[in-house]
Amino acid sequence: MLSSLKKELLYGSRAVLRDNIWNRRLLARLRSHETLTAEALLALQQKLLHASMQKALVALPYYQHISADFGISEAACVLREAFPLMDKQTLLANPRTLYPHAGKRRPWEAIGKTSGTTGTPLSIWRSPISVAMENAFIKRHWSWSGFHDGMRRATLRGDMVVPLEQATAPYWFYNRYNQQLLLSSRHLVERCADPMIDMLERFAPAMLQAYPSTAYTLAQLLERRGRTLRIPFLFSASEPLYPHQRKLIMERLGCQVMDMYGMAERVAFATQCEYGEMHINPDYSFVEIIDEHGLPTTGYGRVVGTTLHNLAMPLMRYQLSDQSRWKPGSCRCGRHFPMIEAVTGKLEDSLTGSGGAVVSPSVLTFAFKGVSNIEKSQVAQVGREQWQIRLVPGAGFSEEDGRKLIDNVRTLVDPGVQVDIVLRESLPNTEAGKFRWVVNEWK
């Protein structure tokens, strides 16, 4: 009882903070940017970038050697020429010069944390305005599906919705302030799935928010039951979305997938539009894609971003381990937001095959072509030209399935790698409830 009262207070107060006139105005302003010309968007971005750089120069001693004497039109140039690239390690190593007020947080600043799945966790301080802006950017993306406040949505992400040990339904919580059904992804297992699927069917949300892995698990559970749902849109985020996941999710949930790319550092934000293109939101941050020499590239490179809205702690030219590529041309949706290729995962998690060639996760999915009876899988690199495919076998799994998998790797992915199939009882998610389908454990 106490915990449900806590949840009422949490979602009630959050609704008061997030769903007020001021926030609606913020969203309306962001929506108006969708019809701006490319030139007008660039001008807007330069103005925000200039303000963010000026703030960094005043607040962060790390940049004290850089002159603040430059105009709005020179902002992007000065950024590239004077500001060095930095990353998570740089931030961790310089807490007194890259965090404002010599590393002492102000009480009104919120803390954002990276989950630290691939190393040390990191804290970012956020201004109240930047928190509201983030919310408005997410709602702008939702609006691309026609979704607005007052419509029903279901959420299947990492939220602790009910206690882990709970063994009877309901495995969900209804947040009546936002017409939101929160489902416990920890209970998305064979034993608890039926009541969850029934509830989703009755609730009939206009959209589902999920991690790709949780939406995929739901789709697999539906497949095993020969059932389908009709949820118009899926908003996926926080993990790479692989083609095999997208396919089954669309089949079983009956939805159009609208993927979103972002991170706790909030230095880049890309949203998939009605026509399937990933658009960098140019009014959110200033994004660069750079090659191994730190120079701009039109090929694949690392994503680097500079914040535009968090003046409590601006991040300048923050290098992510994600890689992508600019996509030339314009989109049928009419928005002048630059396009990128889908971000397929962290660089440190990419696998290499024969001769050290990087193997794209989309290619890896070919290994599973025509292979059935698998509940969950993970592909890991464990040595030079050595992979392990870990499987939680389904009821009808046989050696034949394992052989087919190995054959597929040889014929469709890479003939030169050594592959071992390892059967597991479970493949756990990270603490945040996310799942890494591809991992590189060979250092």
**Contact residues: Zn ion, CB under 5 A:** 273, 275, 277, 331, 333
Closest to Zn ion by CB, 85 or 333: 333
**Residue 40 CB, nearest distance to Zn ion (Å)?**
18
Closest to Zn ion by CB, 31 or 390: 31
**Residue 34 CB, nearest distance to Zn ion (Å)?**
10
**Residue 42 CB, nearest distance to Zn ion (Å)?**
18
Q: Which residue has the tokens 């072509």?
A: 369
If 0-12 CB within 10 Å is exposed, 13-18 middle and 19+ buried, where does residue 165 land?
exposed
**Residue 115 CB, nearest distance to Zn ion (Å)?**
29
**Residue 259 CB, nearest distance to Zn ion (Å)?**
12
Closest to Zn ion by CB, 161 or 234: 234
φ, ψ for residue 149, nearest 5 deg: -55, 140
**Residue 331 CB, nearest distance to Zn ion (Å)?**
3
CA 426, CA 254: separation in Å to the nearest integer?
A: 28
**Residue 280 CB, nearest distance to Zn ion (Å)?**
11
Closest to Zn ion by CB, 34 or 401: 34
Closest to Zn ion by CB, 332 or 384: 332
Closest to Zn ion by CB, 216 or 337: 337
Residues 6 or more apart whose Cβ sits within 8 Å of residue 229:
197, 200, 201, 222, 252, 253, 254
Distances (CA, A) of 147 to 21, 138, 143, 280, 349: 18, 11, 5, 20, 34
Pure H helices in 306-383: 361-364
Residues 6 or more apart whose Cβ sits within 8 Å of residue 350:
358, 359, 361, 438, 440
Closest to Zn ion by CB, 222 or 270: 270
Residues 6 or more apart whose Cβ sits within 8 Å of residue 386:
417, 418, 420, 442
CA 141, CA 139: separation in Å to the nearest integer?
A: 5
If 0-12 CB within 10 Å is exposed, 13-18 middle and 19+ buried, where does residue 80 land?
middle
Q: Which residue has the tokens 């000026």?
A: 54
